[in-house]
Amino acid sequence: MKPVISILLNLLLVGSLIAQQGLKADYYNGTNFNQKVATRTEPNIDKSWNDIPPVPGLDPHDCSIRWTGRLTAPETGTYTFSAKVDDGIRVWVGGVMVIDNWQLNDDGRFTGKVIMRKGTPYDLKVEYFNALIEGEVRLLWTLPNVQSPVVVESKYFNEKPKPSPQQAPAKAEAKKILHPLPSPTQNPKNNQPPSTQNQRPSNNQPPTVEPWS
């Protein structure tokens, strides 16, 4: 009977995951998550706008968005996350910050590398703000042994379930195996006024990680 029970449990799990696919997106007016306007589930992070906001009631030129959920890698290896933004963005994978560029950007592009294990659900958090004129935020990744970055698809995202004791080990494991080194953008002196041109990604070396074993 055990194999049958296992198959049934797996089917229930798959059904549950399909139902929750996507990320939770919280929209705020103000660049520092000041006033919540809307919450909804989104399939990916891939949008741009000018005068028409992505959700009704949002100030398109003075807003912030926070996406949260879980990300499951299709295979084990090194993943390069890429963010294309106007203006600022911060990205955490497995509780570790992999992209940190919380400043004004005009079509900024930033990357960070992490090693992920197949099948492990990693907590994902992406914070974004737009303070001037047009807004853009796209989250891409380059899979192991692949050349080109692509937008992370909804099938790899799941909304984060409410915390329970059973989910704690996965989070702890993610923190244990992800060890990015400090990047230039994580310098504590980064409290200077926002600059639109001087800190572009061409000289923004991505954080590297120590391999887990």
- Positions that interact with Ca ion (CB under 5 A): 86-87, 130, 132-133
Minimum CB–partner distance for residue 131 and Ca ion (Å) = 6
Minimum CB–partner distance for residue 105 and Ca ion (Å) = 8
Instruction: Decide if 180 contacts 99 (C-beta within 8 A).
Output: no
Nearer to Ca ion, 31 or 204 (CB): 31
* Nearest residue to 162 (alpha-carbon basis) of 9, 35, 24, 18: 24
Strand partners, 100: 90
Instruction: Decide if 158 contacts 21 (C-beta within 8 A).
Output: yes
Minimum CB–partner distance for residue 196 and Ca ion (Å) = 9
Nearer to Ca ion, 22 or 60 (CB): 60
Nearer to Ca ion, 26 or 106 (CB): 106
Nearer to Ca ion, 132 or 170 (CB): 132
- Which pair of tokens denotes residue 89? 């963005």
Nearer to Ca ion, 133 or 150 (CB): 133
Minimum CB–partner distance for residue 1 and Ca ion (Å) = 59
Minimum CB–partner distance for residue 136 and Ca ion (Å) = 7
SS (H, E, C) the chain: CHHHHHHHHHHHHHHHHHHCECEEEEEEECCCCCEEEEEEEECCCEEEECCCCCCCCCCCCCEEEEEEEEEECCCCEEEEEEEEEECEEEEEECCEEEEEECCCCCCEEEEEEEEECCCCEEEEEEEEEECCCCEEEEEEEECCCCCCCEECCHHHEECCCCCCHHHHHHHHHHHHHCCCCCCHHHCCCCCCCCCCCCCCHHHCCCCCCCCCC
Minimum CB–partner distance for residue 95 and Ca ion (Å) = 28
Nearer to Ca ion, 42 or 136 (CB): 136
